[in-house]
Structure 1
Amino acid sequence: MKKLKYIGITIVTLILLGLAFYGFMGGFKQVAVSRESFGQTEIYYSTHKGAYENIGKSWESFQKDWESIGITDCDSLAIYLDSPDTEPSKLRSVLGCRLDGLSAEQKKQVSAKFKTFSIPKMNGLSASFPFKNFLSYFIAPTKVYPKFQEILIAESAVTSVAIEIYGGSSKSVDTIGFFMPVGVSRETFKSLEDAFQ
C-alpha cells in the first residue's frame, strides 16, 4: 500500500512539475493578435526543404556561410512558404538575415555570396510569444497559428506565407515575432519559390 502511495505522489509531482514548466514556457499565455504593417525589409537568405524539426542544421550551415565573410550578427527571420499540413519532405522555408545595419562593403560581399530578396511593405496579422529557450520555437507556433487561423476563417481572408522574426543572433532576445500578410498575392514571393528549383 505504501508503495502505491509513493507511486501516486511521484506521478502527481511529475505532472505538477510538467505543468509548471509548460507555464514557464508560456504555454498558458493568451496570444494577442493585432493588425500591423511589416516591411519593407531587404534580406539575404538560404533555403531549407524538409521537416521543420531539421531546420536547425540548415541554420547552422547558413550561419557558417555568413560568418565566413566576416559578418558577426544576423538580425534573423524565416519565411515559411507552405502550410504545416504539407508533406514534411516538401516543406519549404527561407532562412534570412536583414541587410539593415551592414556596411556598404559587407552588403557587397553578401550580394556576391547569397541571393537577396526585398520583402515589400504589407499589412497583416501580428503576434508575439515569449522566448525562454529552444523549446519556444516548437511551443510558440502551436499557440499563435491557431489564433491567426481563427481570424482568417472568420473574415474569409487569404494569406500567402508566414513570417517568424527571431532577432539578433549575438543578442539575447525575449520574444519571437509572428506575421501573416493578408491580401498579398503569392506571386510576390515567386522568386523565393524559384530558389528551390
Structure 2
Amino acid sequence: MTLLMLIIILLVLLLGLYAYLGGFSEIKVSTQKSGGETIVYQEVTGDYKQTKAITNKIYYYLLHKLKIEANRGIGIFYDNPKEIAKDKLRSEIGCIIESKDTNRLSVNECMYKTKVLLSEDYATAELPLKNGLSIFIGFIKVYPALDKYISEQGKKKGSVTEIYDIPNRKIIYRQALLKCDQ
C-alpha cells in the first residue's frame, strides 16, 4: 500500500512538472517573416548538448571583455540528430546582440564570428522557458509540430533556429521553409 502511494505521488509530481514546463499546452505554429538579428557565434561540429556551455562562454566573453550584455542566446542547427552521427552535427551557437550594441563590435575586437541573420519566412513556434528541462519538452512537443506544419505547407525542412529569450522567458523556434526542389 505504501509503495502504491509513493508511485501515485511520484506520478502526480511528474505530471505537475510536465504541465509547469508547458507539456500540456498547445503548440501553435505559423509562418512568420523574421530574422535580421546580429549574432556573435561559434561554428560547432559535434553533439548539440554543447549548446549551453558554448552559449555561456560567448555570453561571458561579451559581458566581461566587450561590456555587452546579451539577453538572448541562439542555436542554429543544420542537421537532424536522428539522421546524422553526433560527432558530425553542425551548428552555430552564440548570442543575439541588441541593435544599440552592434556598433561596438568590430572584426578586430571580437574573437568570435558575427553575422546578420537573413530576414525570411520561417515556421515559428514558442514554448515557455522555465528551466533546462524546457529544451527537452521542445524536442517532444515543438519539433513534431514544426514537422507536421511544414509538411502541410508542402515545403521541405531547413535549419532550425532556437532563440533562448531570457527576459521574456520563452524559447522561440524558427525552421527555415525550403521549396521542395531546394
TM beyond 0.5: yes
Match of 1:156 among 154, 157, 163: 154
For residue 23 of structure 1, what is the aligned residue in structure 2? 19
Offset of residue 109 of structure 1: 6.5
- Distance in 2, Cα, partners of 1:137 & 1:162: 13
- Distance in 2, Cα, partners of 1:44 & 1:129: 23
Match of 1:77 among 69, 74, 78: 74
Match of 2:5 among 3, 9, 16: 9
Q: Gaps (5+ residues) in structure 1? A: 188-197
For residue 102 of structure 1, what is the aligned residue in structure 2? 101
Q: For residues 78 and 103 of structure 1, do their structure 2 counterparts lie closer, same or farther at Cα, with a shift above 3 Å needed? A: closer
Offset of residue 103 of structure 1: 5.7
Q: For residues 38 and 17 of structure 1, do their structure 2 counterparts lie closer, same or farther at Cα, with a shift above 3 Å needed? A: same
For residue 125 of structure 2, what is the aligned residue in structure 1? 127
Pairs within 5 Å for 1:105-116 = 106-108=104-106, 112-116=110-114
1:155 partner letter: Q
- Counting aligned pairs with the same residue, the percent is 24
Match of 1:178 among 169, 173, 176: 173
- Distance in 2, Cα, partners of 1:49 & 1:82: 10
After superposition, the C-alpha distances for 1:39-70 in whole angstroms (9 at most, x for unaligned) are 22222211332222232222232233323423
For residue 192 of structure 1, what is the aligned residue in structure 2? none
Matched residue count? 178
- Give the structure with the larger helix fraction: 1
- Distance in 2, Cα, partners of 1:44 & 1:72: 11
Asked if the contact 1:76/1:96 (under 8 Å) is kept, the reply is yes
1:93 partner letter: S
For residue 40 of structure 2, what is the aligned residue in structure 1? 44
Q: For residues 155 and 34 of structure 1, do their structure 2 counterparts lie closer, same or farther at Cα, with a shift above 3 Å needed? A: closer
1:63 aligns with 2:62: no
Asked if the contact 1:25/1:130 (under 8 Å) is kept, the reply is yes
1:119 partner letter: L
- Give the structure with the larger strand fraction: 2
Q: Gaps (5+ residues) in structure 2? A: none
- Distance in 2, Cα, partners of 1:115 & 1:184: 29
1:88 aligns with 2:79: no
Q: For residues 112 and 89 of structure 1, do their structure 2 counterparts lie closer, same or farther at Cα, with a shift above 3 Å needed? A: same
Provide the TM-score with structure 1 as the length reference: 0.80
Secondary structure, aligned partner of 1:180: strand
Offset of residue 111 of structure 1: 5.5
Q: Answer with 131-140 or 92-101: which moved more.
A: 92-101
Asked if the contact 2:59/2:95 (under 8 Å) is kept, the reply is no
